Amino acid sequence: MSIDNDTARRVAKLARIKVEEADLPALAGEFNAILGFVEQLNEVDVDGVEPMTSVTPMRLKRREDVVTDGDQQPQVLANAPDAREGFFAVPKVVE
Amino acid sequence: MSELNTLTIAEARDKLRGGEISSVELTEACLKATDEASALNAVVHSTAEIARAQAEAADARIKAGDAPSLCGIPLGIKDLFCTKGVESQAASGILEGFKPEYESTVTTQLFEAGAVMTGKLNMDEFAMGSSNETSVYGDAVNPWRLGDTKLTPGGSSGGSASAVAADLCLGATGTDTGGSIRQPAAFAGITGIKPTYGRVSRWGIIAFASSLDQAGPMTKSVRDAAIMLEAMCGHDPKDSTSADLAVPDFEAMLTGDIKGKVIGIPKEYHMEGMPEDIENLWAEGRAMLQDAGAELRDITLPHTKYALPAYYVVAPAEASSNLARYDGVRYGHRAKLAQGDGITEMYEKTRAEGFGDEVKRRVMVGTYVLSAGFYDAYYNRARRVRALIKKDFEDVFNAGVDAILTPATPSAAFPLGTKFDDPVQMYLNDVFTVTVNLAGLPGIAVPAGLDSDGLPLGLQLIGKPWEEGELLNVAQALESRAGFVAKPEKWW
């Protein structure tokens, strides 16, 4: 499997990271190095092996479905790059 | 008496309780050492004011007869931990200026135990790296040098390793996703333990790969690691993967008696091209444990060679999901937008500017292996291989092995700025440590000797799940026989 510039461009788009056209060949090369390295996994016989989801065979804890936190609008917004009138502000999303 | 900042946690605790020294004096010694060590770039945000207030409070507690083990002990905190009102950036530009409104569970527990925070410590960006060279703060520097050549303190917890080895604090928090506590500990001649996955709450620790990340202490001795680990452990309802298990008194389990313990020696860890110094150190470690009464047994962990490739699928996949939250909306950096830019441009420009190259690379690799059509071929296959790696260890432990001895790293600390031809070369640093994260096991790096250049080398011990106490006991047996007392000569 070899990654070309088109694939690199598509992955960058999916990851929402702007990559200049001129940088795509180098990026594709790095992907190929890393993916080439992980190709070794194809040597392993994984028939009948379940994909691991959790390292400890432990049932996740559950709790009552009740509100435990809240009423902290100023704290929630304190680190926002742009907060106005109690909201996060972003560029126009809907035309 | 030597400088107070050179004390171990156990020594300082006893002197504090005995009224010989005060936490204020001890803290000032650490702050002074930190001021003088800017060349190491280990401490990236000083918290001197907080430290002084905490030290005074600790002295009052000790006077009142309430002195838990860490009461009045100055510690450094890796920048990955959220600390209320103090910069917590994961060494990334995308979290520029981020000051959390909350305190991580680990730091909350350390502060409740009376610990003093002297500063936030350098690291690789989002804990992605093995040399502390991906940090937005610049490289952290190892106090150990090779002539005049500056060396990496390892990564990602490079600032923690450098700060503890240079006596800027008595201990430090680290986190370990593929070796990020154990590799820097080995490079700097200190002790570092990654506990069993689930032992320490991940709440408030900036996430890299959630099924692998685990925090632990980096200290000057095994006893100190036991003391500090105990304060960090415990069930936390805010982390659903945190184990609801009692935390033993790890220090009390340091009996020094390992007679009859079975120590496994995995043949797959004899790497081609491994430096002779490391082969020799491993052989010496085997002899030391045998001398302590342990039985050595040759074992096999057949899937070892697939651990790094599996890791470099699983970890980027999880990172690409975790780092999706950095969107320029809720915290940190937002790119300046051009006329007509919409929300997609805001995301793309913000993430391009905010993330460093290694983080971008891993996020995109993760995106690729999770994308439609490749999920089964890469991600699910890696998770299946991961299950086999875990089974390798289970088989060995079920056959009666109590702990496993391996080298901690494939080399000593290397020069900063060493250019690797491709990213995979850097990844090979974690070849001995990454298996432990994939299997969720506890692992500890113990300084065990110097190489022919006079640089520290570490050995790793791997334990059974939830048996950190037993692991620390074996580690102490190794530590006492290795008798590692070397310190870097002060040049900074």
Residue at A78 is within a domain:
no
pLDDT of B392 above 50 = yes
Is B63 known to be catalytic?
A: no
Give the per-residue pLDDT at A65: 94
Rounded to the nearest integer, the mean pLDDT of chain B is 96
Residues of B in contact with A12 (CB under 8 A): 364
CA angle B199, B202, B208 (to 5 degrees): 120
Q: Which two tokens stand for residue B36?
A: 């003088």
| pLDDT value at B221 more than 80 | yes
Q: Is residue A49 part of a domain?
A: no
Q: What is the ipTM of this complex?
A: 0.95
Question: Mind listing the pLDDT tens digit for each residue in B263-316?
Answer: 999 999 998 888 999 999 999 999 999 999 999 999 999 999 999 999 999 999
pLDDT value at residue A57: 76
Confidence (pLDDT) at A58: 75
* Cα B157 to Cα B8, B35, B185, B473, distances in angstroms: 20, 20, 8, 24
- In this prediction, residue B492 carries a pLDDT of 96
CB contact under 8 A, B98 and A41: no
Q: Is B15 a catalytic residue?
A: no
Predicted local confidence at residue B2, as pLDDT: 66
- Cβ-defined contact of B423 to A33 (cutoff 8 Å): yes
CA B180 to CA B162: how far, in whole Å? 13
**Domain annotation covers residue A17:** yes
User: Are B343 and A90 an interchain contact pair (Cβ–Cβ within 8 Å)?
Assistant: yes
Nearest by CB to B386, from A15, A52, A61: name it: A52
- Which residues on chain A are in Cβ contact (under 8 Å) with B214? none
CA closest to B355 among chain A residues: A17
Comparing CB atoms, the residue among A12, A41, A78 nearest residue B364 is A12
Q: At what angle do helices A5-14 and B357-370 cross, to 10 degrees?
A: 100
pLDDT, position A61: 79
Structural domain includes residue A35 = yes
Closest Cα to residue B261, out of B422, B397, B402? Answer: B402
Query: CATH number for the domain including B98?
Result: 3.90.1300.10
Cβ-based contacts of A55 with chain B (< 8 Å):
197-198, 211, 390, 439-440
Instruction: Verify whether residue B2 is a known catalytic residue.
Output: no
| Average pLDDT of the residues in B360-370 | 96
Structural domain span for residue B283: 1-492
Residues 234-253 of B with CB under 8 A from A: 237, 240-241, 243-244
Task: Report the domain count for chain B.
Answer: 1
Q: Classify residue A32: in a domain, yes or no.
A: yes
CA angle B368/B370/B373 to nearest 5° reads 85
Q: Mind listing the pLDDT tens digit for each residue in B42-62?
A: 999 999 999 999 999 999 999
Q: What is the mean pLDDT of residues B94-111?
A: 98
pTM here?
0.97
Identified catalytic residue from B130, B156, B201, B221: B156
- Name the residue range of residue A17's domain: 5-41
Model pLDDT, residue A54: 84
Task: Report whether pLDDT(B1) > 60.
Answer: no
Which stretch of DSSP H or E encloses residue A61? none
Mutate to test the interface with A, among B235, B336, B348, B466 (most CBs of A within 10 A): B348
Give which of A6, A7, A17, A94 to mutate to test B binding, by max B Cβ within 10 Å. A17
CA nearest to B9, candidates B275, B347, B348, B251:
B251
**Segment B216-239 mean pLDDT:** 97
DSSP for B232-294, written as a single string: HBS--TTSTTS---PPP-TGGG-----TT-EEEEEGGG--TT--HHHHHHHHHHHHHHHHTTP
- The CA distance from B429 to B434, in Å, is 9
Total number of domains constituting chain A: 1
pLDDT for the residue numbered B85: 98
Q: Which residues pair with B217 in a beta bridge?
A: B173
**Amino acid present at B281:** L
Closest alpha carbon within chain A to B375: A51
The distance of A60 to chain B (nearest Cα, Å) reads 6
pLDDT in tens, chain A (95 residues): 589 999 999 999 999 999 999 999 999 999 999 999 999 999 999 999 999 988 877 777 788 999 988 999 999 999 999 999 999 999 988 87
**Selected residues 415-444 of chain B with any CB under 8 Å from a CB in chain A:** 422-424, 427, 439-440
What pLDDT shows up at residue A95? 72
Q: For position B419, what pLDDT does the model report?
A: 75
Percent of chain B with pLDDT strictly greater than 90? 96
Give the model's pLDDT for residue A92: 87
Q: Is A57 a domain residue?
A: no
- Residue B193: which residues within 8 A CB-CB, separation 6 or more? B181, B182, B216, B217, B225, B229, B442, B443, B444, B445, B468, B471, B472, B475
What percent of chain B is predicted at pLDDT more than 70?
Answer: 99
pLDDT band (50, 70, 90) for residue B216: very high
CA distances from B66 to B29, B159, B234 (A): 23, 31, 21
